Copies of this chain bind each other. A is one copy, B any other.
Amino acid sequence: MIIRPETEADIPAIDRINLDPGLLHDGPLPMSDLHERIATSFQAQGLMATLGAELTLVSEGEVHIALPFSERISQQHGYVHAGAITSILDSACGYAALTKAPSGCEVVTVEFKINLLRPAIGDRFLAIGRVQNAGRSLTVCTGEVQAFSADGDTPKVVALMQATIANLRP
């Protein structure tokens, strides 16, 4: 016989994967500390400097990373390589997840999926990562990369991501 659960508390659930009971009552860090912590972490990412990326916004549940065009990040047709677009969007989603993580936690990307909607043509790209659901140990983010041209046209969305990020004890 199948017992239909009455409430979430009756059943095993993704959002009750348990890292450390001690962490559960701490809540996320104050945003000012978080901004500093994320900026410090960003500066420690060798790849972001190599690509020329810049952290431009940290708010609760949303992080932005900008990337100017350069030939150093191109693919064979001269526009930006999907790998560079993916790199800044992965970092933006990861740091967005960190703004919602229990204090003391690190985050690590478990997996993501990205659709490349059109060629990444532009003078500047902006990756936006947003938290959609923050559980105890897993956070789901969505993100997009917008391409800006020199002539000030409306930016175009060139990529969409859906990502899973894990909270880890330090």
Contact = CB atoms under 8 A, between A and B. Distances in A.
Given A8-B118, A73-B47, A140-B115, A13 B108 contact: yes
A83 interface: yes
Contacts of A111: 111, 113-116, 140, 164
A57 interface: no
A154 interface: no
A132 B160 contact: yes
Specify how many copies of this chain sit in the oligomer. 4
A119 to B, nearest CB: 5
Contacts of A133: 15, 115, 117-118, 157, 160
B86 A74 contact: no
Interface of A: 2-5, 7-8, 11-21, 41-42, 44-51, 69-79, 81-84, 86-88, 90-91, 106, 108-119, 121, 132-133, 135-138, 140, 142, 157, 160-162, 164, 166-170
Given A50-B73, A86-B83, A162-B162, A108 B116 contact: yes
Given A12-B106, A110-B164, A88 B83 contact: yes
Contacts of A167: 17
A84 B51 CA distance: 10
A142 B117 CA distance: 13
Nearest to A74: B46
Given A108-B116, A160-B162, 14 more contacts: A2-B74, A11-B78, A15-B138, A16-B136, A17-B136, A18-B20, A44-B74, A45-B76, A50-B51, A83-B90, A110-B116, A111-B111, A111-B140, A164-B164
28 contacts: A2-B71, A3-B78, A4-B78, A5-B78, A5-B79, A7-B121, A14-B110, A14-B119, A15-B117, A15-B118, A16-B135, A17-B136, A17-B168, A18-B18, A42-B76, A45-B75, A45-B76, A45-B81, A46-B75, A47-B83, A82-B90, A82-B109, A84-B87, A86-B86, A113-B114, A115-B140, A118-B133, A137-B137
